[in-house]
Structures are given as C-alpha cells and as structure tokens.
Amino acid sequence: MNLNARFLLAVNKFFRKNGRIIVIAVIALIVLLLLNNMLKDKQNSVDNRSSYNPDKPIMDEGGKVPSGERDKVKKAIDDFFNYCNNKDYENAYKYLMKDAQEYYFMNSVDSFKGYVDSFFKTKKIYELQNYSNKDGNYIYTVKIAEDIEATGATGGYKAQEDKWVVRKSKEGIEEGVDGYCIAPHGYIGKKALSYTAEDENMRIEITSKDQSYSKVGYNLKITNKTDYYIVLYNGTTYQEITLNVDDETRGITNTGMCIAIEPDSTTTQPLIFESLYDSEKNISKLKFNLVRLDEKVEDCLTDDGTGSNKKYSFNIDLNNE
C-alpha cells in the first residue's frame, strides 16, 4: 500500500471514529459566530440610540438653543402637539405666530383644522430633533408617528415629518402661550421690504417677503403703465424669472401659472424661490428675463417672445437683502 492510500485510510478512520465530535464542534463554532455578530449589531444599535441628542442642532453644532430657554421651548412644542393630538383646535391656534396664521391659514381656525386633521387623523406620538437656530428662531424636525399603543394599529410606525419653528412671542402683536409661539412648515415670518424698479412700461415694488426654512417668497406689486398686456411668466421658455444667489441662478418654484398684467392696471403676485434661512449666501438680484408686451389677452398664455410687440429684460437689485 502506497503512502497516499495509507493517509486516506487514516483520515477516513479518524472521521469515522470522531465524526460526531467534529460535527458538534462545527455547530458550536457556527453558533458562537452568529451570537458574536448579533451582539455586535445590538451594541451598534445601543450606541446609535445613546448618541441621540434632541438638543444638538443638525446644521450648526455651535448654535444651540440657550440652556435657559430649552425646557420652555420643548414645553411649547409638547403643549402644541398635545392640543393638536386631542383636536383642541382653539388652544393650538393660540400658539401660532401671527404671520403664520395669516400666511398659511388666512387668519382662520377652520383653515387651521385642515392642517391638524392631515397630521392627526388618529392618536400620534412624536420625536423631536433640533435642526437649526438663528436670530432667536429655533427650528425643530418633528417626526409624527402612529401611537400603536393607543390605536391598536398594526401597520407599523409610518412617520410624517414637519419642521416647527419656535420663538418668543412679539409682545402686543402675538398671543402665544407662556411667552412662546410656533409655526409649522418651517415658517420663519414676514419681513417688510422696500425695493422699487420702474421703466416706461411698468413699475414693480417688492413690498415684503415670507421666509420659511427652505424657501423665500417675495410679494410684488406690479403696475402696467401701457395699453398692452404685459407678460412676465407663462412657462413657455426657460427661466423667465430668476433670482441671483451668489454665483447661482434659481428659478421660481410656484410654476404652473401665468403672470400677465392687464393694460393700465395693478396686481399683486408672490414669487417663491428655494433659499435656506441659515445660508450665508447673498441674494443680489431679481431678474425678469423675458418681459413681453402683447395686444391680445389670448396671446398671454402662449407667447414665447417670438410674436411680442416688444420684449426685453428687467432687473431689480436687492442689495444683499
């Protein structure tokens, strides 16, 4: 018998004699490896949860809510949440910033009910995370999920998310509760502006802006001084109205409309752009890149500049507002 045959015979004999012990050892090793991986995953989960800090802002670690206000701010959010959760519309409405009452809800509690009912169809729970803070406006991400314990629902935790802004109430202007007020949808507030540009055809005044965390809306008063229809926007060409933000050019987000001013008339119009509230970028210019003068009202919806009686551009300097 040669060497290879002897080796194979010896191996076969060994496994036949110790096979059961080897199988048990392999199974034990696999179990140990699986347990080790499970413990690692659990430890990672614990570590991730223990690192959760609702008071640490996501966007700016240095700009925390002052320690003296932190509990009051979170109490305001908790009270507002519970009023909404219990469909106590009147008391929840009292918490709203005055500008938010006007901008989102037309100063109407009935309109506010629509917001509450969209988030609070059933009993909810929430999780809070400070997101950003600037000029006394404390912005929180609020995740609102089904309260399975209260509702008995079995569909899991399907969360909706909104940004709530909390700040001190403006004395004599806002009711608020315990000195604080809240706005949903990341709304910061309204600011009066006074920018005007004019030529022989029209006059445009920017009277104010509505700022939310991610968008800015400029409110315009536009006067047509001609016998023509003036078309500022109808969606037929690219970037008819833009905003210069540092070296970026941003188009309006409230599209799907036609901005056409009748002859010898004045109208108001909001223009909304993406613009982060805590950004350091400078807004420098509002540009109307294709102003069109048309004789017929039916041309306003389709005129891309090729059939206009006159077309030109019109800019308003915003001076890093």
> What separation in angstroms does the CA of 103 have from each of 96, 169, 275?
11, 17, 18
Q: Which domain holds residue 137?
A: 67-185
Alpha helices for the chain (secondary structure H): 3-50, 67-85, 89-94, 98-105, 109-119, 148-151
CB–CB of 57/130 below 8 Å? yes
pLDDT digits over 5-55, tens only? Answer: 555 555 556 556 665 666 666 676 776 676 666 545 544 443 444 467 888
Domain presence at residue 151: yes
Quote the number of domains for the chain: 2
Domain presence at residue 277: yes
Residues 6+ apart with CB under 8 A from 25: none
Average pLDDT over all residues of the chain: 87
Measured distance CA(39)–CA(45) in Å, rounded: 10
CB–CB of 240/233 below 8 Å? yes
Q: What is the CATH number of the domain that holds 296?
A: 2.60.40
Between 44-58, 172-186, 193-207, the lowest mean confidence (pLDDT) is in 44-58
Domain presence at residue 220: yes
Same-domain check for residues 181 and 80: yes
pLDDT of residue 48: 43
Structure tokens that stand for 302 in this block: 């389709």
Mark residue 256 as left, alpha or beta (left: phi above 0; alpha: psi -120 to 50; beta: remaining): left
Same-domain check for residues 197 and 287: yes
pLDDT digits over 91-140, tens only? Answer: 999 999 999 999 999 999 999 999 999 989 899 999 999 999 999 999 99
